[in-house]
């Protein structure tokens, strides 16, 4: 991080509301990009242009966004993660791979220059994009270990088909991508490395599916309107940070834990920080099982059923969030204890500390409060909930321009 004094303020060019793209536009990349730019230029409700110091209070953004040479120092991002996924290095120290071709014609023999060809390689790669593009995948994008997908400097949409799968691999960073309108895929052959391809059964239709993955960081993405979850982590996945994302227009937002009986998920550790949970969301922000979940400094402005839920005795540590309840008088409760009687769930460790409750929102606590469960796995310090609005104002994809702070 540069030694920029707090008194030196810089103009950020990209605090605009992420937008839901109509699925009818997914077929035509030109129209999608035009529509995104139109809505970004028209939007002023959430992200007005303004001057901010490098001391924004968001430790991830303060680590890299004030660097006007970010485009030449892209891999610096790998040093900026926080929380349980802080050791996810992605493709750090690997070659830069430039995606020049938005097609995905053959999931078994992907063409060089495509995103699929990049993510299956064995060596570490930092993957960037030559221009704005919409990538409609024919099948799941099955990633290999030590990869970063970095959308900064372009408007990149993965949309209209199956989306991203992180299965039994490690050290993945996904940053600055629009992920929306994801569909099921499968009953097809798909390549996952230069030397292997295999038969895939039907996928769920998640935006990002983490299946037995570890050291994963999803940051500054805009996600909406997928067939199943926006981001799901199951089957023993752990060491995950989900940060600075903008999520809208979706029902079951985030599932963390495969099933109540899959006990390997008791070792799951996930940090959910600095995200904006926005318009049109219904539930599961997140829905947790068995593991430890630190939900810190997020802005919850919409939910229709509940915000945070879980079953099978997860530990949930909610700190410094802002919860704005819907006007519906039946949905004021932030929490939902699922699949258990009160005599059981009252012993689960669910804590709310320093959260701001707005419009009648309330959090039902349980368990021992300041128990050793919270102390052993605190992933980062919470900032005051009163500044959550400024910490999360840049959530979602950023309109980064070369030669200027992002």
Give pLDDT tens digits for 106-130.
999 999 999 999 999 999 999 999 9
406 located within any domain: no
Peptide bond into 351 cis (omega under 30): no
β-pair type (196-200, 188-193): antiparallel
300 located within any domain: no
133 located within any domain: yes
In 3-state terms the chain splits into helix, strand, coil percentages (rounded to 5) of 15, 35, 55
Helix (H) or strand (E) holding 239: strand 238-243
Percent of the chain exceeding pLDDT 70 equals 84
Tokens linked to 78: 């790998």
Other Cβ atoms within 10 Å of 196 Cβ, number: 9
For 127, the domain range is 9-251+369-391
Averaged pLDDT, 58-72:
95
Please tell me whether residue 83 adopts helix, strand or coil conformation.
Answer: helix
* 3-state SS track over 19-70: CCCCHHHCCCHHHHHHHHHHHHHHCCCCCCCCEEECCCCCHHHHHHCCCCCC
Would residue 191 show up in a list of annotated catalytic residues for this protein?
Answer: no
- Are the CB atoms for 277 and 302 separated by under 8 Å? yes
pLDDT confidence of residue 55: 80
Could you read off the pLDDT of 5-56 as tens digits, one per residue? 333 333 333 333 333 333 334 444 445 444 444 443 333 334 333 333 478 8
Q: Of 284, 322, 351, 383, which one is the catalytic site residue?
A: 284
337 located within any domain: no
pLDDT confidence of residue 56: 85
- Per the rule left: phi > 0, alpha: psi between -120 and 50, beta: everything else, 151 is alpha
**What is the CATH number for 63?**
2.160.20.10
Q: How many domains does the chain have?
A: 1
Average pLDDT, the chain: 88
pLDDT confidence of residue 49: 32
Cα–Cα distance list, 245 to 230, 262, 273 (Å): 11, 28, 9
pLDDT confidence of residue 379: 60
Could you read off the pLDDT of 348-382 as tens digits, one per residue? 999 999 999 999 999 999 997 545 555 454 567 89
Averaged pLDDT, 316-328:
96
206 located within any domain: yes
Write down the pTM of the prediction.
0.86
Helix (H) or strand (E) holding 345: helix 342-345
201 located within any domain: yes
240 located within any domain: yes
86 located within any domain: yes
- Are the CB atoms for 61 and 394 separated by under 8 Å? yes
- Are the CB atoms for 300 and 323 separated by under 8 Å? yes
- Per the rule left: phi > 0, alpha: psi between -120 and 50, beta: everything else, 223 is beta
Tell me the C-alpha distance between 376 and 353, whole Å: 16
Could you read off the pLDDT of 352-361 as tens digits, one per residue? 999 999 999 9
């Amino acid at each position: 991080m540069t030694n920029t004094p707090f008194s030196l303020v810089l103009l950020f060019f990209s605090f605009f509301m992420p937008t839901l793209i109509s699925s009818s536009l997914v077929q035509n990349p030109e129209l999608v990009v035009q529509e995104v730019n139109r809505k970004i230029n028209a939007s002023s409700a959430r992200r007005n242009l303004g001057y901010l110091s490098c001391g924004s209070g968001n430790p991830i953004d303060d680590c890299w966004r004030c660097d006007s040479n970010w485009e030449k120092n892209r891999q610096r991002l790998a040093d900026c993660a926080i929380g349980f996924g802080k050791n996810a290095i992605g493709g750090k120290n690997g070659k830069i791979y430039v995606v020049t071709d938005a097609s995905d014609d053959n999931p078994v023999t992907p063409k060089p220059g495509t995103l699929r060809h990049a993510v299956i390689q064995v060596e570490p790669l930092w993957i960037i994009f030559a221009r704005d593009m919409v990538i409609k995948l024919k099948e799941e994008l099955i990633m290999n270990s030590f990869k970063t997908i970095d959308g900064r400097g372009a408007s990149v949409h993965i949309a209209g088909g199956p989306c991203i799968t992180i299965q039994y691999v490690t050290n993945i960073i996904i940053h600055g991508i629009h992920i929306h309108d994801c569909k099921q895929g499968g009953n097809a052959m798909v390549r996952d490395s230069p030397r292997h391809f295999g038969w895939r059964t039907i996928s769920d239709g998640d935006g990002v599916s983490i299946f037995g993955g570890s050291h994963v960081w999803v940051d500054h993405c805009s996600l909406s309107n997928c067939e199943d979850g926006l981001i799901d982590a199951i089957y023993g996945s752990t060491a995950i940070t989900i940060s600075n994302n903008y999520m809208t227009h979706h029902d079951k937002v985030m599932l963390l834990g495969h099933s109540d009986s899959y006990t390997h998920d008791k070792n799951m550790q996930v940090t959910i920080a600095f995200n904006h949970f926005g318009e049109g969301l219904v539930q599961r922000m997140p829905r947790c099982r068995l593991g430890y979940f630190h939900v810190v400094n997020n802005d919850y402005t919409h939910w229709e059923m509940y915000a945070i839920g879980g079953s099978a005795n997860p530990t949930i540590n909610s700190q410094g969030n802002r919860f704005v309840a819907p006007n519906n008088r039946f949905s004021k409760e932030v929490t939902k204890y699922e699949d258990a009687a009160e005599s059981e769930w009252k012993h689960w460790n669910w804590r709310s500390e320093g959260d701001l409750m707005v419009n009648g929102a309330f959090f039902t606590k349980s368990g021992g409060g300041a128990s050793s469960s919270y102390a052993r796995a605190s992933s980062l310090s919470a900032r005051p909930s009163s500044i959550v609005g400024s910490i999360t104002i840049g959530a979602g994809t950023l309109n980064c321009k070369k030669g200027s702070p992002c």
